[in-house]
Chains A and B, each alone.
Chain A
Amino acid sequence: MILLVLGSTGLGILLGLIRVGTPGIFDKGLVWSLAFLIFVVGWEMGSELEMVKRLLKRGPRLLLVPLFSVAGSVVFGMFAGFLLDITPIQGAVVASGMGWYSFTGSFLSAQGWTHLGAVAFAANVLRELFTILFAPLLSRVSPIAPVASGGATSMDSTLGVVRVFSGREMGPVSFLNGFVTTLLVPPITYILSRLL
Chain B
Amino acid sequence: MITSIFLPLAAGFVVGMIVKRKPKSIFFWISLLVLLFFVGYQTGSAVSDFGALYSVLKDAVVVALFAIAGSVAFAVLIWRKTTE
How many whole Å from B77's CB to the nearest CB in chain A? Answer: 7
Given contacts A15-B41, A91-B66, contact A35 B5 (CB under 8 A): yes
Range for the number of chain B residues in contact with chain A: 35 or more
How many A residues, CB 8 Å from partner?
A: 99
Residues of B within 8 A of A145 (CB): 72, 75-76
A115 beta carbon closer than 8 Å to chain B: yes
Residues of B within 8 A of A11 (CB): 37, 40
A56 beta carbon closer than 8 Å to chain B: no
Q: Which residue of A lies closest to B65 (CB)?
A: A130
Binding site secondary structure of chain A: helix
Bound together, the chains give a CA A9 to CA B38 distance in angstroms of 8
- Establish whether residues A123 and B67, one from each chain, have CB atoms under 8 Å apart when the complex forms: yes
- Establish whether residues A80 and B17, one from each chain, have CB atoms under 8 Å apart when the complex forms: no
- Establish whether residues B42 and A16, one from each chain, have CB atoms under 8 Å apart when the complex forms: yes
A-B contact pairs, 17 of them (CB 8 A): A5-B36, A10-B40, A16-B42, A34-B5, A35-B5, A38-B5, A45-B16, A46-B16, A48-B16, A70-B71, A73-B68, A95-B70, A106-B42, A123-B60, A125-B60, A130-B65, A145-B76
Contacts A9-B43, A12-B44, A109-B46 given; 14 further ones with Cβ under 8 A? A16-B45, A37-B32, A40-B23, A42-B13, A43-B19, A43-B23, A48-B22, A69-B75, A77-B67, A95-B67, A102-B32, A110-B1, A144-B79, A190-B5
- Report the 9 A-B pairs with minimum CB-CB distance, sorted nearest first: A16-B44, A12-B40, A46-B16, A42-B12, A76-B70, A72-B74, A148-B75, A122-B60, A72-B70
